Amino acid sequence: MTRAPGTRLEPYEIVSPLGAGGMGEVYRARDAMVNRDAVIRTLPEALAADPVAPARTSCHACTDGGDA
């Protein structure tokens, strides 16, 4: 399901789509709680139901100039 700019996925607000493919859709978002940009990946239903798939799409948070 494609999400439109302005859609809220608490605490994130979708800013724009970045890409889509077999592993889902990727969006540029804004994290209102910490006032910074974020990247959101959404999985297709078939992958979201697979208990192993979400683990393959790990979550990382980086600060400017650093790695998570």
Query: pLDDT tens digits, residue range 4-50?
Result: 999 998 899 999 999 998 888 999 999 988 999 999 888 888 877 88
Evaluate whether residue 59 is within a structural domain.
no
Where does 1-68 show beta strands of DSSP type E?
8-9, 12-21, 24-31, 36-42
Classify residue 52: in a domain, yes or no: no
Q: Taking the model in full, what pTM does it have?
A: 0.71
Asked whether residue 67 is assigned to any structural domain, the reply reads no
34 located within any domain: yes
Domain that holds residue 16: 8-47
Dist CA 30 CA 13 (whole Å): 5
Tens-place pLDDT, residues 50-66: 877 767 666 555 544 44
In-domain check, residue 58: no
Is 54 among the domain residues? Answer: no
In a domain, 25, yes or no: yes
Number of domains in the chain: 1
The structure tokens listed for 46 are: 């078939």
Does the residue 57 lie in any domain? Answer: no
